[in-house]
Structure 1
Amino acid sequence: MSSQIVLPRLMQIGGGAIQQITSTLHSLNCSRPLIVTDNMMVKLEYAAHIERLLAEHDITADVFSDTVPEPTMASILAGVEKAKSGNYDSIIALGGGSPIDSAKAIAILAKFGGEMRDYKFPRIVNEAGLPVIAIPTTAGTGSEVTRFTIITDETRDEKMLCVGLGFMPMAALVDYELTLSLPPRITADTGIDALTHAMEAYVSKKANPFSDAQALAAMRLIGPNLRQAYHDGKNAAAREAMMLGSTLAGVAFSNASVALVHGMSRPIGAFFHVPHGLSNAMLLPRVTAYSIPAAADRYADCARAIGVADSNDDDSTANQKLLDELVALNRELHVPSPEAFGIDRHKFFELMPTMAEQALASGSPGNNPRVPSAEEIIALYSELW
C-alpha cells in the first residue's frame, strides 16, 4: 500500500536560514509579502530584522502583529481584513505555532472568504490560499511543515482541527538561532509537544514507513536534548537538535496524524485556556499507559529511540522505562496537573462529557492504537485531575 506524502515546496534548515527569506520569496515568484506575527516578535525585533533583509532587495513588507496565543476566529479577522486590503501576494508567518496557525487560516480566508468553521474537519481543504513562508521561533509545534491548523471557535469553546493541502506552507525557514532566547517554560511545553508529535505519529494507525523514519529520527534528537535546552537555553547544540527534531516530528505527524493525546488536549485548551503543548504534556504519561497494551512493540521502539531503553530490554521492560521517563520528565520540567494549573474542579468534571464528545469528533482518537469510547475518555480525564 502506498502513502501520500506532503511537504513544503522549499525548506531551508540550519543556523542563519532566515537570511534566505528574499531568495525564498523570489523562488515562489512573490514580491509583496505580509508578515503575520505577534507582539513579542516585534518586541524582540525579529520582525524588523526580516523587514531589513527584504529592504536590502527593495522589497517592502507590512506587519500584522495582533495574533494571539491559541488563536480564535475573532482574533484572525483583523488579519484577514489586512490581507484582503493590501494587494499582498504572500504571507511570511513568523513565530510559534499560534502565529503560524493564524497565518495559515488568514491565507485561506483572505482568498476564499467565509468563516473558519466552514473549513473544519471533516472537510478537507485542498484549495491553495496565499503562499505561506513559515519561520518558526519555537521547537515544538512543527506547524511549519504540517497540513493542519488549529483555530478556536470561541462561541462554542471548541478547538477546530482544519486539515488539507491548503494549510501546508509553501516554504519553511527553520533557523534554530531564533530559539536561543526562549524562556524555560516555553522550551518545556513546546519540547514535550514535539515529543508527543513524534510518539503519536509512530503509534498512529495511519503510520507508514516514511513517517516512521521521521518520527524515530525526531525522538532520537529530542530525547537526549530536551532537558539540556530547558536548563541551558544558550546551549546551541541542544537547541539545534530540538529544532530539527521538532520539524521532523511535524513532518511525521502531518503524514501519519496524531492520536488520543491531541484529541483530548484540544478541549482542555479550548475550555480552560491551557497552552497546547502544556495540555499535551499533562496527558502524555497517562494516555501512553492506557495505549501501550494495544501497541507494546511500537511504544518500546519509542523508549529505545528516546534513549531510556536499549536493545537488551524486552518490550515490557522498555515500556515501563518509557512511562517512568515521561513522569520524570514532567516532574523535572514542572508540568502541572489540571488542579495545580488552577482549573476549577467542578467545571472540569462537569465538562468532561462535552470534552470527550469534542475529542472524538476531532477524529484524532480514532488513530490511536487503542481507540477509546466516550466513557473511557471521561475516565482518563478524571484520572488526569
Structure 2
Amino acid sequence: MARADRWGQIVPRKRNPDRVVHYRLPTEVVFGAGTVAQLGSRLVEMGLSRPLVVTDRGVRDAGIVEKVLASLEGSGMRAAVFDGVESDPTTRVVEGIRDRLREEGCDSVVGVGGGSPMDAAKAAAALATNPGSPLEYVGRDKVRSDPLPTVAVPTTAGTGSEVTMFSVLIDSDSGSKVSIGDTRIMPRLALLDPELTLGLPEHLTAVTGIDALSHAVESYGSVWSHPIAEGLALRAIELVGECLRPAVAAGSNRAARRGMLMASLVSELAANSTRLGIAHALAIPVGARHHVPHGMAVALLLPHVVAFNEAADPDRYARIARALGAAEGEGAGRAMERLNYDIGIKDRLSGWGVGEDDLPGLAELAMKSDNVQANPRVAGEEELVAVLKAAL
C-alpha cells in the first residue's frame, strides 16, 4: 500500500547497485597550512612563467592576493591580476578575462577566492584556447581543446570548485544561470591553505559551510551514489558536524578552519561523480531570479529537502543524521535546521522577496535540472512547490 506524508505520496527512486562507476580526478591536490607559498615553484615545474591571477576585490582587499603574488614573483614570474569578478560571475566577465589573457600573453590562470573567481578562471582558461562565447560550451563535454593550465587557490570552505568539472555562470543577456561541465576545465593543481580562510567573516563562514554540507548530503542521498562517493560524503558530513559551529564562533580557530576546508574539498570529491538533488535544482533558479547568494539559497532549502527525502530512504538519512552528530531520535532534517539556527542562519525565502506566486515558476525551472533525476524521492513540480513553500 502506498505511503504518504505531509508532502504527498512517497515514491522512492530506484537505485541500481550494478551501475558502472566512473571516478576521475585529473587535479593534483595539495592541502596544508602555508601551501600557498609553493605556488610559484609549482608553476615553474610546469614550465609556466606568465600567469593571470583571477580574483575579486574582497579577496584583494583582504591581502590574500599579495601572498599569491609574493610566491609568484619570488619564483621569477611576471604575473598580471584581474580582480573584477563579481558574485555569480557573468559570461561577459569571463569574456573580459579571456581578452586579458590574450592581451597579456599569459600561459596559465590562477583562480584565487571562493567559487566565483575559481569558476570564472576555469571558464576563461577554456575560452582562451577554444573559439566562440561561453554559451557555446554550456552543457556537458563541449570543450574541444585543452584549456590553459589552471591552478585553484580557495579562500572559502564551501564550493569545492577547485576540484569540480563545473563552471556556473550568469548569462549576461538573459540573467539565467548556466553551467559548463567538462573534465577538461578541472584545475591541474589545487592548493588548499587553511590559513587563507582565517579572515572569513562569520556570515560567509556559515553559508559557505552549509554549501559544503549540502554537497555531501545530496551526494550521499543521490541515486547515482556509489561506495567511493559515500565514504567521502559521510566523512565530509562528520567534519561539518564537528567544525562548522566552532569555525563560525571563533574565526581564528585553526583546527576548525582546517576541518571545514577539508570538508569542502572532500564533499566535492564525492559530488563530482554523483550529481546532487532537488536542493541544488531549486537553489539555482532561486538565486538567478531573486539574487539569493547560492550558499544562502541552499541553506534555506536543505532542511526541508532532507525532510522530504528522509521518508523515501530512512536508513540512509539516519546515517546522515548520525554523521552530523544529531541528538538522540533527531532526524537529519531537524538536525540541519538546528545547525542553521546555531550558526545564525535564520532567514526565510520570503525575506529575499520570494512570494507564493513565484513558486510554480521556480519549480518549473528546477525540473529542467538533471539533479532532479538524482534525487532519492521522485519529485514533480507539485512536490517542488511544496518544498519551496516550507522554506518561505
Deviation at 1:122, TM superposition (A): 4.9
Counterpart in 2 of 1:355? 362
Deviation at 1:29, TM superposition (A): 2.5
Counterpart in 2 of 1:251? 269
Give a deviation string over 1:188-214, Cα, whole Å, max 9, x none. 000000000011111111111111111
Give a deviation string over 1:306-350, Cα, whole Å, max 9, x none. 1225xxx7xxx4xx432221111122223210123x3153xxx34
Could you tell me which amino acid in structure 2 is paired with residue 21 of structure 1?
A: L
Counterpart in 2 of 1:338? 349
Q: 1:111 to 1:351 in 2, by over 3 A?
A: farther
Deviation at 1:364, TM superposition (A): 1.0
Task: Confirm or deny: 8 A CA contact 2:55 2:117 kept in the other structure.
Answer: yes
Deviation at 1:169, TM superposition (A): 0.9
User: Number of paired residues?
Assistant: 373
Task: Confirm or deny: 8 A CA contact 1:8 1:172 kept in the other structure.
Answer: no
Give a deviation string over 1:15-71, Cα, whole Å, max 9, x none. 111111023213333221110001112212211221121111211110000000011
Question: Normalising to structure 2: TM-score of the pair?
Answer: 0.91
Q: Answer yes or no: is 1:11 the counterpart of 2:67.
A: no
Deviation at 1:97, TM superposition (A): 0.7
Deviation at 1:360, TM superposition (A): 1.9
Q: Measure the CA separation in 2 of the matches of 1:126 and 1:238.
A: 41
Q: Equivalent residue of 2:109, what SS?
A: strand
Q: Equivalent residue of 2:367, what SS?
A: helix
Counterpart in 1 of 2:160? 142
Q: Measure the CA separation in 2 of the matches of 1:227 and 1:279.
A: 19
Query: Aligned ranges for residues 130-279 of structure 1 at < 5 Å?
Result: 130-279=148-297
Q: 1:241 to 1:99 in 2, by over 3 A?
A: same
Which of structure 1's runs of 4+ aligned residues deviate more than 6 A?
Answer: none
Alignment counterpart, residue 31 of structure 1, candidates 33, 41, 49: 49
Q: Equivalent residue of 1:59, what SS?
A: coil
Counterpart in 2 of 1:292? 310
Give a deviation string over 1:116-154, Cα, whole Å, max 9, x none. 222222555464211110000000000001111111124
Q: Equivalent residue of 2:47, what SS?
A: coil
Q: Equivalent residue of 1:69, what SS?
A: coil
Counterpart in 1 of 2:374? 367
Give a deviation string over 1:350-375, Cα, whole Å, max 9, x none. 43333223212121111100131122
Could you tell me which amino acid in structure 2 is paired with residue 328 of structure 1?
A: R
Alignment counterpart, residue 103 of structure 2, candidates 79, 85, 107: 85
Deviation at 1:79, TM superposition (A): 1.1
Q: 1:239 to 1:188 in 2, by over 3 A?
A: same
Which region of structure 1 is more displaced relative to structure 2, 213-222 or 321-330? Answer: 321-330
Q: Measure the CA separation in 2 of the matches of 1:4 and 1:48.
A: 39
Q: 1:344 to 1:326 in 2, by over 3 A?
A: closer
Which region of structure 1 is more displaced relative to structure 2, 180-189 or 210-219? Answer: 210-219
Q: Measure the CA separation in 1 of the matches of 2:317 and 2:144.
A: 33
Task: Confirm or deny: 8 A CA contact 1:126 1:165 kept in the other structure.
Answer: no
Unpaired runs of 5+ in structure 1? none
Task: Confirm or deny: 8 A CA contact 1:337 1:384 kept in the other structure.
Answer: yes
Task: Confirm or deny: 8 A CA contact 1:39 1:66 kept in the other structure.
Answer: yes
Could you tell me which amino acid in structure 2 is paired with residue 18 of structure 1?
A: V
Q: Measure the CA separation in 1 of the matches of 2:282 and 2:185.
A: 22
Unpaired runs of 5+ in structure 2? 1-18
Q: Equivalent residue of 1:371, what SS?
A: coil
Task: Confirm or deny: 8 A CA contact 2:207 2:296 kept in the other structure.
Answer: yes
Task: Confirm or deny: 8 A CA contact 1:188 1:333 kept in the other structure.
Answer: yes
Q: 1:122 to 1:33 in 2, by over 3 A?
A: closer
Alignment counterpart, residue 332 of structure 2, candidates 312, 318, 322: 322
Q: Measure the CA separation in 2 of the matches of 1:58 and 1:173.
A: 19
Q: Measure the CA separation in 1 of the matches of 2:172 and 2:380.
A: 26
Could you tell me which amino acid in structure 2 is paired with residue 33 of structure 1?
A: P
Q: Measure the CA separation in 1 of the matches of 2:370 and 2:323.
A: 27
Could you tell me which amino acid in structure 2 is paired with residue 116 of structure 1?
A: P
Deviation at 1:74, TM superposition (A): 2.2
Task: Confirm or deny: 8 A CA contact 1:84 1:111 kept in the other structure.
Answer: no
Q: Equivalent residue of 1:288, what SS?
A: helix
Counterpart in 2 of 1:381? 388
Question: Normalising to structure 1: TM-score of the pair?
Answer: 0.92
Alignment counterpart, residue 115 of structure 1, candidates 133, 137, 142: 133
Query: Aligned ranges for residues 3-82 of structure 1 at < 5 Å?
Result: 3-82=21-100
Task: Confirm or deny: 8 A CA contact 1:161 1:362 kept in the other structure.
Answer: no
Could you tell me which amino acid in structure 2 is paired with residue 339 of structure 1?
A: S
Could you tell me which amino acid in structure 2 is paired with residue 353 of structure 1?
A: P
Task: Confirm or deny: 8 A CA contact 2:130 2:144 kept in the other structure.
Answer: no
Q: Measure the CA separation in 2 of the matches of 1:138 and 1:53.
A: 20
Give a deviation string over 1:60-98, Cα, whole Å, max 9, x none. 110000000011112322112111222211100000111
